[in-house]
Amino acid sequence: MRRLRRVTALFLAAAAMPAAAGLFDDDEARRRIEDFRAKTETRLEKLESGNARAQLELNNQIEALRGELACLRGQIEVLTHDVLAAQKRQQDFYIDLDSRLRKLESAAAESAKAPGPAQPAADPAAEMRDYEAALAQFRAAKYKEAVPAFQAFIKAYPAGAFAANAHYWLGASHYQSRDYTAARDMFLKVVTTWPADPKAADAMLGIANCQQATGDGKGARQTMETLVAKHPDSQAATLARDRLKKK
């Protein structure tokens, strides 16, 4: 009987061992799964955090590039305007020079035909030399020196071939020297005395610039509208249209 009980106990113990081993395997698997899940979540959090930082840095870089691009566009616009203005001044100079020389030749011919004592005519070469000397001061950005140079030229050649141009550049020299009242007066003299001269349109734009510089925005707009109406094909009118669109 005792022997039977012992065998039975051994049999039950042997039968219980696989169940315990299976229970142990399930717990270990659960633990490993939990560990793997925790590690995976940690890695995902790190990746998400890194991606967020990278996205923020990328956005900052994009905004910085947009700002630099806007700045470059502004600089290009200014440079383009300066180049066009310089080309316009050079073109105007040669056109005016040819026109003035033709007028001088015509005046000299008429003077030779006129009866009575002839009035001494200005030397065209000297007039052109003095005009070029005054204009060179302006081109060199020596505006304070250009003012008396043009004033002396106008006094020496009041009815010369370059009179309209000299008055315009005298106004421009005053403007660059921030003497807007004197500049406006010179520009106005060009418009009223030589209304058909090519410089009349530029002088009207100069008047608008003076008005804008002294806070008269409404007057500047009216002047530019008049300029566009009177001289629609001029370069000054093109610039005036662009400004009117921006206002």
The more confident residue out of 221 and 102 is 221
Mean pLDDT of 153-181: 95
Give the pLDDT confidence score for residue 242 in this predicted structure: 93
CATH of the domain at 138: 1.25.40.10
Least confident segment among 115-124, 169-178, 220-229, 238-247: 115-124
Mark whether 82 and 137 lie in a shared domain. Answer: no
Any domain includes 96:
no
Mark whether 146 and 71 lie in a shared domain. Answer: no
Mean pLDDT of 183-199: 96
Mark whether 61 and 129 lie in a shared domain. Answer: no
Any domain includes 97:
no
Give the pLDDT confidence score for residue 217 in this predicted structure: 94
The boundaries of the domain holding residue 207 are 122-246
User: Could you write out the three-class secondary structure of the chain?
Assistant: CHHHHHHHHHHHHHHHHHHHHHHHHHHHHHHHHHHHHHHHHHHHHHHHHHHHHHHHHHHHHHHHHHHHHHHHHHHHHHHHHHHHHHHHHHHHHHHHHHHHHHHHHHHHHHHHHCCCCCCCCCCHHHHHHHHHHHHHHHHCCCHHHHHHHHHHHHHHCCCCCCHHHHHHHHHHHHHHCCCHHHHHHHHHHHHHHCCCCCHHHHHHHHHHHHHHHCCCHHHHHHHHHHHHHHCCCCHHHHHHHHHHHHC
Mean pLDDT of 239-244: 93
The mean pLDDT value of the chain amounts to: 80
Give the pLDDT confidence score for residue 205 in this predicted structure: 97
pLDDT tens figures, 89-127: 566 665 666 666 666 556 555 555 555 444 456 688 899
Q: How many domains does the chain have?
A: 2
Mark whether 60 and 131 lie in a shared domain. Answer: no
Mark whether 83 and 171 lie in a shared domain. Answer: no
Residue 81 pLDDT level (bands cut at 50, 70, 90)? low
